[in-house]
Amino acid sequence: MARPRGARRRAETTRDRLARLYGGTARELCALDHANPYELLVATILSAQCTDEMVNKVTPSVFSRYPTPGDLARADPSVLEELIHSTGFFRQKAKSLLGMAAAVEESFDGEIPSALDDLVKLPGVGRKTGNVLRSVAFDLPGLPVDTHVGRVSRRLRLTDQDDPVKVEVDLDTLVPPPERGAFSIRMILHGRRVCTARRPACERCVLSDVCPSSTVPAAQRPAAVEAGWAAGPEPGGP
């Protein structure tokens, strides 16, 4: 399907302004505490339906008890479930963690792979998690598409697609490979702080002059942009 009209120009403006608003590399912007690809993979699996803050409270004890994929593969499931209980869906997450660790041991000599095709073969690892690993842990191109990235991209008409893989394909044509990971995190931050699902705060959005979905009246948009820059993002973590 053809890209929406003007998408390339809106994407350039979006990349530029969000980079000013939410500065840093993908690694610097990532809110999940980790020291290596294995720890990031564990934290990302635990982050499903859970806040980053809660994950960061739980992971230190998981990492100290199971410092390598081999240690995790040999974990007692009931002990692991107890450790990760507060992140929710703990039985399914424990199963994913144990399966992931066993597969990393068996198929990749205990090293987390960096190729997306290999990552998505691991239990509990989908394309979104694989792209988080690639961009944050390995500094490789990867554009994770979650609900925020999809919603904000559609409102900005960078894509018309609903399917996350198709959204990723569209965004890959608009965002250069080295920027993709940071761009994704910036869109997530913007979706959480400004362009929220229920009520987008267009009046203080730095993209309101270029966004086709803006609720700011056309005559007021330049002023709204200035106000948006002055106000910056809402306080509070991503």
Amino acid at 87: T
* Closest CB 25 distance from ligand SF4, rounded Å: 23
Q: Which is nearer to ligand SF4, 56 or 213 (CB)?
A: 213
* Residue 128 annotated as catalytic: yes
Query: Which tokens hold the place of 28?
Result: 């610097």
Which chain residues interact with ligand SF4 by CB under 6 A?
Answer: 152, 155-156, 194-195, 200-202, 205, 207-208, 211, 213-214
Question: In whole angstroms, how close is the CB of 53 to ligand SF4 at the nearest point?
Answer: 24
Beta carbon nearer to ligand SF4, 180 or 221:
221
Residue 211 Cβ vs ligand SF4, minimum distance, rounded to whole Å: 3
| Non-local CB neighbours of 126 within 8 Å, separated by 6+ positions | 120
Burial string for 64-98 (b: 16+ CB within 10 Å, else e) reads eebeebeebbebeeeebbebbeebeebeebbbbbb
Note if 166 is an active site residue: no
**Options 52, 146, 160, 172, the catalytic residue:** 146
Measured from the CB atom, is 181 or 228 closer to ligand SF4? 228
Phi and psi at 84, nearest 5°, equal -105, 10
Q: Give the residue from 28, 24, 31 showing the smallest Cα distance to 52.
A: 31
Q: Provide the annotated active-site residues.
A: 128, 146
